[in-house]
Chains A and B, each alone.
Chain A
Amino acid sequence: MNWISKVFRPKIRALVSRKSKDVPENMWEKCPSCGQMSFQKELAENLRTCPHCGHHLRMTAEARLASLFDDQRYDRVPLASVKRDDPLHFKDREKYTERLKRSRANTGLQDAALVGDGRIGGVPAVVFALDFRFLGGSMGMAVGEALLTAGKRAVERRAALVLVTASGGARMQEGILSLMQMPRSILALEQVKEADLPVINILADPTTGGVTASFGMLADIHISEPGAMIGFAGQRVIEETIRESLPDNFQRAEYLLDHGMIDLVVPRRELAETLAKVLRLLRSG
């Protein structure tokens, strides 16, 4: 028992520990912030926040969905696959098709997005989550398609659309077609907004590039987690351009909060409750 699991509502703890049975008992993981080792099982029980320093580690899309929906229950929304997923026959040091194959094998996902349909605080919600393990959560045609599907589902079910972004930006291997997902993803949000349904984005670590510069910054309410990196340009590019060092906390959630770009920075253990509260308020008018 540690300080985070102590403050968990008992119901959540029970559900999380049931879920975390798939996680091996004795696998260690090092916290990228404090360097301390923790059991993966313990991290999973803590919604992957470090028991030593409170750092928020990255989560899989699947764990995200489970952590947000009431009782961790939701229907996985089927996603259409892209007819030709490598239109440019892209090859850098490795073929794009090989990268896709490996990411699919490692994550069990078809692409970087996962969509679930259920309830948050009793309010119908569709959650679209990006998985950073899948080619850095990058946005290509399949991600655009998944977002359109999520938006459509939200409209059909009169549900809120909740996004969880974790992405390095556009999927370079799809060339210009990944750039075209910027307007396409914005259209996905547009259908939900036109139906007067809420769009809430949880900008998780990291949310950058073409994802931030499209649907990522256009939700009705922007929430982030402590320390999450959010920005448009990469820090190295900025340093090379301005040739000076960057301010403390630059492009962190707290920094964006100070500069008016996001509404709230919420610790992960309070995220589901905060979402529930917001959704109930927005849907009671």
Chain B
Amino acid sequence: MQLKFCLDFEKPIAELEAQLASLRSQAGASDPDGQLGMEDEIRRLEAKVHKFLDTTYASLSPWQKCQVARHPDRPHARRYVDSLLTDIVPLSGDRLFSEDTALIAGLGRFDGTAVAFLGQEKGEGMEGRIRHNFGMLRPEGYRKAQRIMDLAERFRLPVLAFVDTPGAYPGVGAEERGQAEAIARTIEKSLRLKVPMISVVIGEGGSGGAIALATANRVNMLEHAIYSVISPEGCASILWRSAEKIRDAADALGLTAKVLLDLRVVDRVITEPIGGAHRNPEAVLRTTHEAIASDLRDLSSLSSEQVVSGRRARFLQFGDGIA
């Protein structure tokens, strides 16, 4: 598959893939019957690409994971919602100030069960990214999330949340309208929610802007997603006082799925296809579907008291530093 965007460490793979593509088109034109042995050469190259991807992605460094998690071709929230849900009804607005397109929200059915959904949407292409503000919510986005949670609670619908944000939007208007209060209140609302909430960190789980949608009964995380208290860039500039130290910061922060699973911050790591979610979105949508289905089964038998107390216990536990 040809990607529009190529990460530095994927360059050798991209070169092989380009060779493969030209070989394929040659074979189509000059060797339609496979007489010249080009089919063998194609299969040999395909195996090489596969092996290269496999070994590269099996040992990504934390900083490389950051790059994969932010890959523009990686499936975004909209893709998950459209593929995992049917009967989708998008809902808009916080009823207080405005609509925030960085958060997609609404109702739908997951395997037939009615649910409410929330998704931090980064947008596709430059225009799309600008329209969705790069997935950075303003206070209105968080207040819309609270509104949807209220609705879900009244009608006993589980809430599915797809987390993918560099962080809450840092702007003058956002501060004036209470970005901090909006995030705090969303977490408070999540902790009180009487219906099950399931979160999936699909790309970038950026700080307070992310946990506002991840104070859930179950938190899933994609294999190459990241989830962190601060971006490696921010951490490097504050603690190392050097923008150069992003790799060290990424290493130190422990922002990968494996570390977070060990710390019990994440309940399940969703395996990504070889070469990452962006190379095979269908595969990652399938595994995400299985994960949510399994969580919904587990949580559906709980009473609303158990749903609340279980979620509380989940977040009270982070006090002893024992991994």
Q: Does A7 contact B (CB under 8 A)?
A: no
The one of A82, A184, A187, A241 in contact with B170, judged by C-beta atoms closer than 8 angstroms, is A241
Contact of B318 with A144 in the complex, beta carbons under 8 Å? yes
- CA–CA, A212 to B181, complex, Å? 7
Tell me how far the C-beta of B235 lies from the nearest C-beta in chain A, rounded to whole angstroms: 6
| Residue numbers in B under 8 Å from A246 (CB-CB) | 172
- Decide if B175 touches A232 in the complex (CB within 8 Å): yes
Please state if B175 and A145 are interface contacts (CB–CB under 8 Å).
no
**B-contact 0/1 string along A6-19, CB 8 Å cutoff:** 00000000000000
In the complex the two chains form, what is the Cα distance from A88 to B179 in whole Å?
29
Cross-chain contact A92 with B178 (CB below 8 angstroms) = no
B319 touching A250, Cβ below 8 Å: no
If A175-B255, A183-B215 touch, does A170 touch B318 (CB 8 Å cutoff)? Answer: no
The answer to whether A84 touches B168, judged by C-beta atoms less than 8 angstroms apart, is: no
Q: Decide if A186 touches B175 in the complex (CB within 8 Å).
A: no
Nearest opposing residue in chain A for B238, CB measure: A172
Q: Judging by beta carbons under 8 Å apart, are A213 and B263 in contact?
A: no
Decide yes or no: A178 and B188 within 8 Å by CB, A86-B321, A184-B319, A209-B208 being known contacts.
no
A227 at the interface (CB under 8 A from B): no
Please state if A231 and B175 are interface contacts (CB–CB under 8 Å).
yes
Known contacts A177-B265, A182-B187, A217-B184; A82/B319 CB under 8 A: yes
Kindly supply a per-residue 1/0 record for chain A positions 153-186, scoring 1 wherever the CB is within 8 Å of any chain B CB and 0 otherwise: 0000000000000000010111111111111101
CB of A49 within 8 Å of the partner chain: no
Is A214 within 8 A of B322, CB to CB? no
CB of B229 within 8 A of CB of A170, answer yes
- B165 near A: Cβ within 8 Å? no
CB-based contact A180/B318 at 8 Å: yes
Closest Cβ–Cβ distance, residue A225 to chain B (whole Å): 18
Judge if A67 is at the interface, Cβ distance under 8 Å: no
* Whole-angstrom CA separation of A86 from B229 in the bound complex: 15
A84 to B174, alpha carbons, bound, how many Å?
A: 37
**A247 touching B208, Cβ below 8 Å:** no
Residue of B nearest to A168 (CB): B238
* Binary CB contact string for chain B from 251 to 280 against chain A (1 if under 8 A, 0 otherwise): 011110001100101000000000000000
Q: Which of B165-197 contact A (CB under 8 A)?
A: 168-172, 174-181, 183-185, 187-188, 190-192
Cβ of A28 under 8 Å from chain B: no
User: Would you call B155 an interface residue if the criterion is a C-beta within 8 Å of the partner chain's C-beta atoms?
Assistant: no
Q: Is the CB of B208 within 8 A of A141?
A: no
- Interchain CB contact under 8 A, A233 and B322: no
Q: Is B315 an interface residue (CB 8 A)?
A: yes
Interface size, chain B (Cβ < 8 Å): 55
Shortest Cβ gap from B188 to chain A (Å): 5
In the complex, what's the smallest C-beta–C-beta distance from B136 to chain A, in angstroms? Answer: 9
A82-B320, A238-B171 are known contacts. Are A218 and B188 too (CB-CB below 8 A)? yes
**CA–CA, A173 and B249, complex, Å:** 10
Residues in B whose Cβ lies below 8 Å from that of A186: 184, 187-188, 191
Chain A neighbourhood of B248, CB < 8 A: 92
Residues of B within 8 A of A215 (CB): 184
Q: CB of A210 within 8 A of chain B?
A: yes
Give bound CA distance, A234 to B233, whole Å: 14
Question: Is there a chain A Cβ closer than 8 Å to B312's Cβ?
Answer: yes
B84 CB within 8 Å of chain A: no
With an 8 Å Cβ cutoff, the count of chain A residues facing the other chain is 56
Q: Are B320 and A141 in contact (CB under 8 A)?
A: yes
Q: Given A180-B265, A218-B184, A232-B183, is A259 in contact with B178 using a C-beta cutoff of 8 Å?
A: yes
Query: Which residues of chain B have C-beta atoms less than 8 A from A231's C-beta?
Result: 175, 180
Q: Would you call B1 an interface residue if the criterion is a C-beta within 8 Å of the partner chain's C-beta atoms?
A: no
Q: In the complex, are the beta carbons of A261 and B260 less than 8 A apart?
A: no
Are B229 and A83 within 8 A (Cβ)?
Answer: no
Query: Would you list which residues of chain A between 226 and 273 have a CB under 8 Å from chain B?
Result: 231-234, 237-238, 241-242, 246-247, 250-251, 259-261
Q: B252 CB to closest chain A CB, in angstroms?
A: 5
Residue B227 CB within 8 A of the other chain: yes
Taking the nearest CB of chain B, how far is it from the CB of A80, in angstroms? 9
* Any A CB within 8 A of the CB of B228: yes
| Neighbouring B residues of A178 by C-beta, 8 Å | 229
Cα A209 to Cα B239 in complex, Å, equals 16
A260 to B230, CA, bound (A): 28
Task: Given A144-B318, A170-B230, verify A212-B180 contact (CB < 8 Å).
Answer: yes
> Residue B211 at the A interface, CB < 8 A?
yes
A101 within 8 A of B: no
Whether, in the assembled complex, B126 has its beta carbon less than 8 Å from a beta carbon of chain A, the answer is: no
* B177 proximity list for chain A (CB < 8 A): 259
A232 touches which one: B179, B191, B255, B320 (CB < 8 A)?
A: B179
Task: Check A190 for interface membership: any CB of B closer than 8 A.
Answer: yes
Given A83-B321, A93-B239, A145-B319; A182-B208 close (CB under 8 Å): yes
Interchain CB contact (< 8 A) of A88 among B171, B227, B252: B252
Contacts of A187 in B (CB 8 A): 191, 312, 315-316
Q: A172-B230, A218-B185 are in contact. Are A242 and B171 (CB under 8 A)?
A: yes
Contact of A92 with B240 at beta-carbon distance under 8 Å, contacts A84-B322, A144-B319, A178-B229 already known: yes
Contact B171–A241 (Cβ < 8 Å): yes
| Given known A83-B320, A176-B260, contact A90–B175 (CB-CB < 8 A) | no
Could you jot down 10 A-B contacts, CB within 8 Å?
Answer: A84-B323, A87-B321, A172-B230, A172-B239, A173-B239, A176-B263, A179-B207, A182-B208, A214-B208, A241-B169
